[in-house]
Structure 1
């Protein structure tokens, strides 16, 4: 294990997932495409309905006489088409078979609604069939017209996305040809993989933002083993496309995207429309929950404090230096569960460490733990004071656990990624086995999985699992 230099300080940089709250780059063109397609579909669906009513067998029905029913029909049709993802870019909007399925499915919904609303008063069978067939025909014609006009405009240099290529010098020419095959991009700049090195990446991202880059194409070799780069592109509001090599492993939080005439799969790191918003929702949730909990459990704090005082001499709270965001030191708060000289005794107990690789220190029968301390640990009540750390912005409710200096000093470089996000009171590690995990590498893998797949929903899932784990006392000692 290599020893790491731990930086002191109280000024914390932002979490890897936060960034400034900003709108996704290129969203105006994407919204224009969606609005145009929706308007075209509304026009052609209205024409299909008028055509079917005019040429179909006449039937006295409110469906053919009231405008509100036409609005209902169009809303259902557009809704089903949208749910099927047929307003997305590229091959999605040109998925004519998917469009036929979406129209047919919406017709089934309309039949169901008509039956439940007024089964004796819908439209005639001929009107229904004409509307179904003409809707399919006109919508497909509309998409074809849209594609032809879009291609003509792009040939003249309009509605193209400015992109940037980052790849090895010897492969850049081939990648440019591949990108240009898609006919919707302007390669605005090129750089080699050194621009993503730690010393250069912030300057690179700032330059891309200033140039108005919407998407960045990066070769797999340039981004491999650099998960933080993916997050930095995401928080910059720039879509990241990872260009393939001969053998490629699927990256977390990615979705497949097809580029070029050869239909070569390209991996994409998706970003939300409002970049950084999810993290600030998480932070707001942390503050609200902690404030409410601190008010509710104040009597519990007082009872625990009294029990600790009666059980053994020493302070009620235990404050220990831990390593948090960006390897900065901070004081973590816990209820004292050990004798007052526990840290001095640890040196004599290192030989009994039950973590195989020795990075962490864990003992099931630790002689330093007091009687009240065992109870508090069993139900994780000793962690309750960390709510103050959350309020101060040093921790989150969910995240990788902050570790003591002794543990972090034994980190390898690959382990330091877990220090790029706010540490948490609970995390994926804790709900996946807690103290039963006896290998630090396994714990780090769980932390990395959390970072790679993070979402507000994942945080809520972990919080709910934590309650279950605490009540069942799984792996606690």
Structure 2
């Protein structure tokens, strides 16, 4: 596992990265449904407004005011429809009470705008009342016709989402399988047991799912091992992952709940553009590290001079760390210890403050120099790792890369943290830094980061890092 040689395994991408940028499976059908609904809603809302103005009692009537109010009303109503999920599939689209509430709210807001911003009202209350009644009738009637038409077309086998079901025989829930078979929303393309997701069969399975243009996969959660891996596999394949309901408790990254029939299915929706978020992370790492290296160059020189004057030895400390997929690389830091620190560590192991001994931490470490204490206090010793980020060995945010000595003490489940690019800072560092005295607690924080990773989470951790460093929280 630990090797300095470049192998096929080391060339595998980060767990969170897709092999290529692609569009979410089934996006066209979903997008067309929303576009058609919005377009027809706009037509019927504007038609209802024209009829209301034509047959209502107008105090003043100018075509310009009528047009501006009609556009405002149309935009306002569609925006409320969208924010209240009335364009989502299934029961959301058929929520007629929600439609009435949304139209009522938009009518009241429009009436308030007319009253507040006009010296004299252009439209009477009867105009607004008539518009409300007509728009409710038109939109609800249209939604009923739209649902009837889509159901008719789907009974013919068209515009269905292609799905695949993975569950072992003993784990299959006949009720839930029959429920999916009855839904004309889906076209079931096949069944398989959980062995199709084993490491030896996984690539073949995903190749088959891609070749069959599968949009969604339903999986029996209790039969699956290496769940975190599989969640990211489906996410990066652009395939929506749904869990067959189970009594077991589980946690899913990026999960939501969608209702099919009368049953809630835990769901991990695929991103609209698969792979874009991770490449954005790498682009941000490259740009940010380049800018910081340039701006901090005088600081580098100053720290180098102080280290040289403080104690004999090199300016930089290089150490082999375990990075992505267990590949060794040289991490760079400003030297904060005496030159023979690694040899002395063997005699200090008995004083290790980490309860499980996976990695070495000692509050009053005698190996640290005077300047080293200051550098560590503000994490200035980590600045050279920006070069590791620049060349792609590390990221600004991610699980910390650990020395070989620490990784050798890993349990089997710990190695999953090596499937993502290591970072200068991470959730562990902003949640206590050196105050954490148990590797399992740090590991749980790393897992929380991997499971819930997003660009926004990275930015949040970076901002918290500056705060933690300035407050010297848990630094030693």
Which deviates more, 246-255 or 187-196?
246-255
Q: Per-residue displacement from partner, 1:334-390 (whole Å, max 9, x unpaired)? A: 111111111111111111100001111100011111111111000000000110111
Indicate if the aligned counterparts of 2:165 and 2:219 stay in contact, CA closer than 8 A. yes
Which deviates more, 430-439 or 334-343?
334-343
Q: Per-residue displacement from partner, 1:175-206 (whole Å, max 9, x unpaired)? A: 43121132211111211111111222222112
Q: CA deviation at 1:125?
A: 0.2
2:414 aligns with 415
- Secondary structure in 1 matching 2:428: helix
TM-score by length of 2: 0.95
TM-score by length of 1: 0.95
Q: Per-residue displacement from partner, 1:245-284 (whole Å, max 9, x unpaired)? A: 2333342321111123xx1221001222111111111111
**1 CA distance for matches of 2:423 and 2:177?**
43
Corresponding position: 1:42 with 2:42: yes
**1 CA distance for matches of 2:226 and 2:122?**
60
Q: CA deviation at 1:239?
A: 0.4
Mapping for residues 245-284 of structure 1, pairs under 5 Å: 245-260=246-261, 263-284=262-283
Indicate if the aligned counterparts of 1:63 and 1:70 stay in contact, CA closer than 8 A. no
1:373 aligns with 372
Indicate if the aligned counterparts of 2:172 and 2:220 stay in contact, CA closer than 8 A. no
Q: CA deviation at 1:122?
A: 3.2
Number of paired residues? Answer: 471
Q: Per-residue displacement from partner, 1:449-475 (whole Å, max 9, x unpaired)? A: 111111111111111100000000000
Indicate if the aligned counterparts of 1:230 and 1:240 stay in contact, CA closer than 8 A. yes
**1 CA distance for matches of 2:216 and 2:121?**
52
Mapping for residues 386-465 of structure 1, pairs under 5 Å: 386-465=385-464
2:465 aligns with 466
Indicate if the aligned counterparts of 1:99 and 1:136 stay in contact, CA closer than 8 A. yes
Mapping for residues 109-188 of structure 1, pairs under 5 Å: 109-172=109-172, 174=174, 175-188=176-189
**2 CA distance for matches of 1:165 and 1:42?**
38
Corresponding position: 1:6 with 2:5: no
Indicate if the aligned counterparts of 1:63 and 1:69 stay in contact, CA closer than 8 A. no
Q: How big is the alpha-carbon RMSD for the aligned residues of Structure 1 and Structure 2?
A: 1.6
Mapping for residues 337-352 of structure 1, pairs under 5 Å: 337-352=336-351
Q: CA deviation at 1:116?
A: 4.1
1:235 aligns with 236
**2 CA distance for matches of 1:361 and 1:63?**
77
Higher relative contact order (CA 8 A, sep 6+): 1
**2 CA distance for matches of 1:61 and 1:346?**
87
- Secondary structure in 2 matching 1:234: helix
**1 CA distance for matches of 2:97 and 2:226?**
39
1:383 aligns with 382
1:195 aligns with 196
1:307 aligns with 306
- Secondary structure in 2 matching 1:189: strand
Indicate if the aligned counterparts of 1:401 and 1:426 stay in contact, CA closer than 8 A. yes
Indicate if the aligned counterparts of 2:58 and 2:124 stay in contact, CA closer than 8 A. yes
Corresponding position: 1:293 with 2:292: yes
**2 CA distance for matches of 1:281 and 1:424?**
16
Indicate if the aligned counterparts of 1:12 and 1:328 stay in contact, CA closer than 8 A. no
1:218 aligns with 219
Indicate if the aligned counterparts of 1:22 and 1:275 stay in contact, CA closer than 8 A. yes
Q: Which runs of 5+ in 1 are unaligned?
A: none
Q: CA deviation at 1:173?
A: 7.2
- Secondary structure in 2 matching 1:85: coil
Distance change (3 Å), C-alpha of 1:119 and 1:128: farther
1:33 aligns with 33
**2 CA distance for matches of 1:308 and 1:284?**
33
Distance change (3 Å), C-alpha of 1:119 and 1:327: farther
Indicate if the aligned counterparts of 2:401 and 2:422 stay in contact, CA closer than 8 A. yes
Q: CA deviation at 1:168?
A: 0.6
**2 CA distance for matches of 1:459 and 1:109?**
39
- Secondary structure in 2 matching 1:165: strand
**2 CA distance for matches of 1:213 and 1:197?**
19
Q: CA deviation at 1:63?
A: 6.8
Indicate if the aligned counterparts of 2:45 and 2:135 stay in contact, CA closer than 8 A. yes
Indicate if the aligned counterparts of 1:21 and 1:275 stay in contact, CA closer than 8 A. yes
Mapping for residues 68-147 of structure 1, pairs under 5 Å: 68-147=68-147
- Secondary structure in 1 matching 2:300: helix
- Secondary structure in 1 matching 2:94: coil
Which deviates more, 234-243 or 318-327?
318-327
Q: CA deviation at 1:402?
A: 0.7
Indicate if the aligned counterparts of 1:63 and 1:123 stay in contact, CA closer than 8 A. no
Indicate if the aligned counterparts of 1:53 and 1:64 stay in contact, CA closer than 8 A. no
Distance change (3 Å), C-alpha of 1:344 and 1:245: same
- Secondary structure in 2 matching 1:121: coil
Q: Which runs of 5+ in 2 are unaligned?
A: none
